């Protein structure tokens, strides 16, 4: 069932999934978060291990393209579930049947895990774990499934390593509870067509929430492992969650990751999983995504091509994103009585 893209962006060119042409940066500082809760002394922030993140990334692409209805897709999903059970307290699987724009029925799984599930103040981290069923850009390999080392596996790998780092932290981890969601069928969409043909897993999740607890805000990681990656402040993120954009980008600059996180906004939104988490689930969410408006296509050259493989992954990029998110989580103050283990 299709839902029309928000009237908020009716006068803005709707970008295709993960971007579009003609998006230009606009320098502007978003406002800070308005709340002023009581802060406790900050705990030491664990080190994000990029080598470990690379292990998680290589394991995913080792199954091959993770296209719904394929053995590789099922095997990778089982692997992710088992890994999350090692590092989190609760894992919830949401099975669903959805219909792709081609009319094909897809069996999908949204995989959700929780750290400190009893805490009501929560932060959501999410990524998509599927890969594109066919390359629609570049040669060779046009039309064949995309391995998705960056577009899919990188975001999942960073979140898995964040979960592992928190699990190993004897101090008890950050103050908020953490909700992790790996969305399925994000990339089974019509290139150049209706943006709502993408993000089928997050659309289903937002309309059929498996758990009643809502996160205070969410962070989407998509294409966060590429060489020479840059992360501009994406339009929908700034519109729906400017305080989260401000928090993440200023934290990245404080940590010395200025070359990656650009203090400039894109003039238009990117249709990605966060869009539907904002509009349907009503969780203010941002997208950290490799998009540079000075490139011909905006996205990196391996995007939606047969070349989205390990050769284009840089552990330093995974580190910059992962360490920034860990810092953000550990700097979150205690809101109310959120000390339940």
Average pLDDT, the chain: 88
Rounded CA-CA distance 17/20 in Å is 8
Lowest-confidence region among 9-13, 79-83, 232-236: 9-13
Q: Work out the pLDDT band at 29, boundaries 50, 70, 90.
A: very low
pLDDT of residue 333: 86
Give 117-126 pLDDT, tens digit per residue: 999 999 999 9
CB neighbourhood size of 86 (10 A): 11
| Res 114 pLDDT > 50 | yes
Note the pTM of the prediction, 2 decimals.
0.88
Q: Report the SS3 class of residue 16.
A: strand
Rounded CA-CA distance 237/243 in Å is 9
Structure tokens at 276: 């539907």
Q: Judging by beta carbons within 10 Å of its beta carbon (0-12, 13-18, 19+), is residue 213 exposed, middle or buried? A: middle
Q: Work out the pLDDT band at 245, boundaries 50, 70, 90.
A: very high
Strand partners, 217: 123
Is the CB of residue 210 less than 8 Å from the CB of residue 92?
yes
Give 50-70 pLDDT, tens digit per residue: 999 999 999 999 999 999 999
Structure tokens at 75: 């095997």
| Res 96 pLDDT > 80 | yes
pLDDT of residue 193: 84
pLDDT of residue 174: 96
Is the CB of residue 271 less than 8 Å from the CB of residue 212?
no
pLDDT of residue 140: 60
pLDDT of residue 141: 62
- The upper half-sphere exposure of residue 88, i.e. CA atoms within 13 Å in the direction of its Cβ, equals 26
| Res 19 pLDDT > 60 | no
Lowest-confidence region among 14-28, 151-165, 287-301: 14-28
pLDDT of residue 82: 98
Q: Where are the beta strands (DSSP E) in 184-308?
A: 217-222, 231-233, 261-266, 285-289
Q: Work out the pLDDT band at 219, boundaries 50, 70, 90.
A: very high
Q: Judging by beta carbons within 10 Å of its beta carbon (0-12, 13-18, 19+), is residue 173 exposed, middle or buried? A: buried
Rounded CA-CA distance 242/78 in Å is 36
Q: Which domains does the chain have, with CATH numbers?
A: 7-17+28-331 (3.40.630.10)
Q: Work out the pLDDT band at 330, boundaries 50, 70, 90.
A: very high
Q: Work out the pLDDT band at 297, boundaries 50, 70, 90.
A: confident
């Amino acid at each position: 069932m299709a839902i029309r893209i928000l009237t908020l962006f009716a006068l803005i060119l709707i970008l295709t999934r993960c971007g579009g042409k003609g998006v230009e940066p606009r320098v502007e500082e978003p406002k800070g978060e308005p709340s002023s809760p009581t802060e406790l002394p900050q705990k030491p922030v664990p080190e994000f291990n990029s080598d470990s993140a690379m292990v998680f990334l290589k394991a995913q692409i080792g199954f091959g393209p993770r296209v719904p209805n394929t053995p590789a897709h099922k095997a990778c999903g089982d692997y992710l579930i088992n890994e999350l059970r090692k590092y989190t307290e609760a894992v919830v699987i949401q099975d669903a049947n959805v219909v792709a724009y081609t009319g094909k029925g897809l069996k999908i799984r949204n995989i959700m895990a929780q750290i400190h599930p009893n805490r009501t103040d929560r932060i959501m981290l999410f990524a998509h774990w599927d890969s594109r069923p066919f390359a629609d850009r570049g040669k060779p390999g046009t039309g064949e499934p995309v391995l998705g080392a960056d577009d899919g596996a990188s975001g999942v790998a960073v979140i898995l390593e964040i979960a592992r780092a928190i699990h190993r932290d004897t101090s008890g981890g950050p103050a908020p509870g953490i909700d992790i969601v790996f969305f399925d069928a994000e990339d089974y969409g019509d290139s150049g067509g209706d943006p709502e043909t993408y993000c089928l897993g997050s659309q289903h999740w937002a309309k059929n929430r498996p758990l009643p607890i809502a996160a205070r805000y969410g962070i989407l990681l998509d294409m966060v492992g590429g060489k020479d990656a840059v992360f501009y402040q994406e339009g929908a993120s700034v519109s729906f969650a400017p305080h989260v954009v401000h928090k993440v980008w200023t934290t990245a600059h404080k940590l010395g990751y200025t070359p990656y996180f650009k203090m400039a906004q894109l003039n238009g939104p990117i249709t990605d999983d966060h869009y539907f988490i904002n509009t349907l689930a009503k969780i203010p969410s941002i997208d950290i995504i490799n998009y540079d408006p000075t490139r011909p296509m905006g996205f990196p050259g391996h995007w939606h091509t047969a070349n989205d493989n390990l050769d284009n992954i840089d552990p330093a990029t995974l580190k910059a994103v992962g360490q920034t998110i860990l810092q953000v989580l550990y700097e979150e103050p205690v809101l109310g009585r959120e000390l339940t283990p």
